[in-house]
Amino acid sequence: MRDRVIRDEIHRDVLVPAHHARIIDTNEFQRLRNIQQLSTCEFVFPSATHTRFAHSLGAYYLAGELTSSIQEVQPGLLSDSDAELVQIGALLHDIGHPPYSHLLETPEVFATFHSHEHWGRILLESNESEIGRVLSDVLGDEGKQRLFALLDGRNECNGVPIPPFMKEIIGSQLDVDRMDYMIRDQANTGAQIGGFDSARVIRALRVNDEGRLYVKSWGLPAIEAYLVTRYHMYNQVYFHKVNMLTQSYLVRMLRRARELAEEGKLELDGEIKQMLLNKTLTPEQYASLHDSHIKVAMGRFALQDDEILSGYASRLLARRDYHKSLRIPSLTTEMFAAVEEDVALLLKEEGFDPFHDLITATIGKRGYMPYDQGIILEDGRDAAEHSPLIRSLTQSEEHVLVFVPEQVRDACESMVRAKTKPTQSSLAMFDSANS
């Protein structure tokens, strides 16, 4: 096998040595081509159909750029073998994702439920999976053990230290995973929110005497741009009301299908049956699941006699007859909890089923969380201590989205406003954006 160059829409040429290409060519890694990065976001942003495969290659590329930068500006700090482990760790960080990524990572859907990290580790450790065997060939047993120790955040492996910055490159508040998905998601959704310069962020990173990453003072504006981008991506893309609603539709559709199948009222087969009903799902069976199985099942579910199941599926397929959100942006979880029973009663009086027609989604927004693994500058202080802008992003902001049938939205809104008296009570400013 020869070295190759993969052309990426974000990073352009990604150079892949032949032995790394062997990992990419395994069935388990190629499966990521069939798992969308942003699950149902395409119902809001039609071009947001990019995959975990492309994102994993992007994280791999940025890990290579960052490790090369550290080796250049702080020679002797990072060996070539450890730099390779960091890059492979970034490449494989999403290997265990289920269909539709984080959305379906729930026991509501999977009869055999584990986190994506758990499934990923099983696939990588196994000698029965293709990727497990190839990883052993590429890294050897000792290298494989050190990779797993790195991914676990351990400080050493077989007596050889693992400095914290190696793990921070893969998983922290300023890691290559976040850098890639924010750039990639912004490009594919078309969100116009400014963005940040990943190359400048990488150039500004150094390793301190404790073995942790820190940012040179001149790199603070780039960090501010990174965190502001992150805040706005959550606000405008990830927490978009239609994205939150369609996510709920998809999970509810699969949960309903599972209930009906367990009651003997719905016949399932193939991969969808394995996902929803098999309580002893094997790694091989798990690795055969991807988004297409859900999409095919969705078409079948839309034709079922069960109105609840067909209702969720039909809404997703046709993108119409959606529930509508209450136009009360300052509504908190506590405020709605005080009136939820009243809203449910109103829906019932109007002929709707509150269990299926009252949908809520909690949104917690915080652009940055300073803690012992926050972003530090060269004087050892947290970035929030240097920047009023970053400090403003540490404020927690939580509210709840409430969706009801369009026919009763106005009545529900009036009731909730009267009982909770939210600080922002004007409907007019939100009518055009939310109708």
> Could you tell me what percent of the chain has a pLDDT over 70?
95
Let me know whether 331 and 207 are in one domain: no
What is the pLDDT, as a whole number, of residue 431?
A: 43
Mean pLDDT of 103-128: 96
Nearest partner of 238 among 202, 295, 193, 173, judged by Cα: 193
d(CA 291, CA 41): 13
Does 343 map to a domain? yes
Does 264 map to a domain? no
d(CA 324, CA 174): 36
Banded model confidence at residue 426, pLDDT cuts 50, 70, 90: very low
Domain that holds residue 99: 4-238
Tens digits of residue pLDDT in 226-242? 999 999 999 999 999 99
Mean pLDDT of 177-181: 97
Let me know whether 209 and 84 are in one domain: yes
Let me know whether 359 and 212 are in one domain: no
Let me know whether 9 and 153 are in one domain: yes
Does 59 map to a domain? yes
d(CA 229, CA 223): 10
Residue 230 sits in a domain whose CATH number is: 1.10.3210.10
Does 219 map to a domain? yes
Element (H, E) at 7: strand 4-8
Does 153 map to a domain? yes
Q: What angle do CA 233, 186, 182 make, to 5 degrees?
A: 65
**384 Cβ neighbours under 8 A, 6+ residues apart:** 368, 370, 374, 390, 391, 393, 394
- Residue that is last in its domain, among 218, 238, 258: 238
Let me know whether 328 and 231 are in one domain: no
Mean pLDDT of 384-411: 92
| DSSP state for residue 362 in the 8-state scheme | E
Mean pLDDT of 40-57: 97
Domain count, the chain: 2
| DSSP state for residue 303 in the 8-state scheme | T
Let me know whether 16 and 126 are in one domain: yes
- Residue that is last in its domain, among 189, 213, 238: 238
Residue 372 sits in a domain whose CATH number is: 3.30.70.1370
Rg, C-alpha atoms of the chain: 24
Let me know whether 234 and 357 are in one domain: no
Indicate the pTM of the whole model.
0.94
Mean pLDDT of 97-102: 96
pLDDT score of 434 more than 90:
no
Mean pLDDT of 324-338: 93
Tens digits of residue pLDDT in 232-279? 999 999 999 999 999 999 999 999 999 999 999 999 999 999 999 999
pLDDT score of 116 more than 80:
yes
d(CA 144, CA 139): 6
Does 174 map to a domain? yes
Long-range CB contact pairs, 175-180, < 8 A, 24+: 176/59, 176/62, 176/63, 176/66, 176/90, 177/59, 177/90, 177/93, 178/230, 179/62, 179/226, 180/10, 180/55, 180/58, 180/59, 180/61, 180/62
Let me know whether 218 and 350 are in one domain: no
Q: Which residue type is seen at 395?
A: Q
Helix segments in 236-386, DSSP class H? 241-262, 270-277, 283-286, 291-301, 307-318, 333-337, 340-349, 354-357, 383-386
Give the distance between the most distant pair of CA atoms in the chain.
72
Does 290 map to a domain? no
Element (H, E) at 398: strand 397-404
> Are 373 and 366 contacting, i.e. CB atoms less than 8 angstroms apart?
no
**359-365 sheet: strands from edge to edge:** 324-325, 397-404, 359-365
d(CA 26, CA 308): 39
Q: How many CB atoms lie within 10 A of CB 16?
A: 20
Buried b (16+ CB within 10 A) or exposed e, 137-169: ebbeeebbebbbbbbeeeeebeeeebbbbbbbb
Let me know whether 14 and 156 are in one domain: yes
Nearest partner of 87 among 30, 138, 25, judged by Cα: 138
Does 282 map to a domain? no
Element (H, E) at 161: strand 160-161
- Residue that is last in its domain, among 199, 219, 238: 238
Let me know whether 365 and 221 are in one domain: no
pLDDT score of 397 more than 80:
no
Buried b (16+ CB within 10 A) or exposed e, 25-36: ebebbebbeebb
Exposure of 214 by Cβ count < 10 A (0-12 exposed, 13-18 middle, 19+ buried)? buried
